[in-house]
């Protein structure tokens, strides 16, 4: 070997000499070792064959396990639902189950109207204004839509006038607003 190669590999000259001697020894004794290893390999092969380990060729595919698991899952589910329905039928008392009866068919049945008692008529008080407490996230637009069903500036102006508001955007949480309902 060259000295530059030795320096790069950090191998000393003694190690190089030892490796060369080992290489020479291996070349000289190669023939005897070859026959020794061949005979050992034959012995191991014979032992392995007599050991009786044979590859398993009848191994089931994963699809078989999937199908068997799926079918057994369906069967178990059906058994559980049947068991639960039997328990429910046993546990419900028969008195709770009302028999289904058909209404009696009458051919000459007539509707009878009972007139309302007009002598005690009282009129409901007419609500002209409603009060609303402003919550978090409320805007004047959402309040108009809640009470009137649709948005228009006329309705916003009505609420502003009823509450004497200068700025419709200055609502505070907890503020009470008077909503005129009948003026629309």
What is the average pLDDT score of the chain?
76
126 or 172, higher pLDDT: 172
Domains of the chain, first to last? 3-49 (no CATH), 129-180 (3.10.350.10)
The predicted-structure confidence for 8-31, as pLDDT tens digits, reads as follows: 666 678 877 888 888 888 777 766
For residue 21, what pLDDT is reported?
86
95 vs 3: CA distance, rounded Å: 108
- Token pair for 173: 């949480």
pLDDT at 102 over 80: no
The predicted-structure confidence for 37-92, as pLDDT tens digits, reads as follows: 566 667 667 666 656 555 556 667 888 899 999 999 999 999 999 999 998 888 77
For residue 144, the tally of other CB atoms under 10 A from its CB is 22
**Measured CA distances, 108 to 104, 105, 111, 119 (Å):** 12, 9, 10, 33
- Token pair for 74: 């369906």
**Lookup result for tokens 């009302």:** 98
For residue 77, what pLDDT is reported?
96
Q: Name the pLDDT band for 122 (thresholds 50, 70, 90).
A: low
Query: Pseudo-torsion of CA 101, 105, 111, 117, nearest 10°?
Result: -30
CB 16 within 8 A of CB 2: no
26 φ, ψ (degrees, to nearest 5):
-65, -40
DSSP designation for 166: S
180 vs 184: CA distance, rounded Å: 8
For residue 80, the tally of other CB atoms under 10 A from its CB is 10
């Amino acid at each position: 070997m060259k000295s530059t190669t030795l320096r790069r590999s950090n191998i000393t000259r003694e190690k190089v000499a030892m490796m060369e001697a080992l290489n020479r020894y291996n070349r000289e004794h190669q023939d005897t070792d070859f026959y020794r290893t061949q005979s050992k390999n034959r012995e191991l092969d014979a032992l392995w064959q007599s050991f009786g380990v044979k590859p398993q060729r009848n191994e089931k595919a994963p699809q078989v396990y999937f199908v068997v698991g799926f079918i057994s899952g369906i069967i178990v589910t059906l058994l559980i639902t049947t068991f639960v329905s039997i328990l429910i039928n046993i546990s419900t008392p028969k008195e709770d189950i009302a028999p289904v009866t058909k209404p009696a068919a009458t051919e000459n049945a007539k509707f009878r109207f009972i007139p309302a008692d007009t002598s005690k008529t009282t009129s409901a008080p007419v609500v002209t204004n409603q009060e609303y407490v402003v919550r978090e996230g409320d805007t004047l637009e959402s309040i108009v839509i809640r009470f009137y069903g649709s948005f228009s500036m006329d309705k916003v102006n009505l609420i502003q006038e009823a509450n004497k508001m200068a700025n419709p955007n200055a609502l505070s949480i907890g503020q009470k607003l008077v909503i005129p309902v009948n003026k629309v």
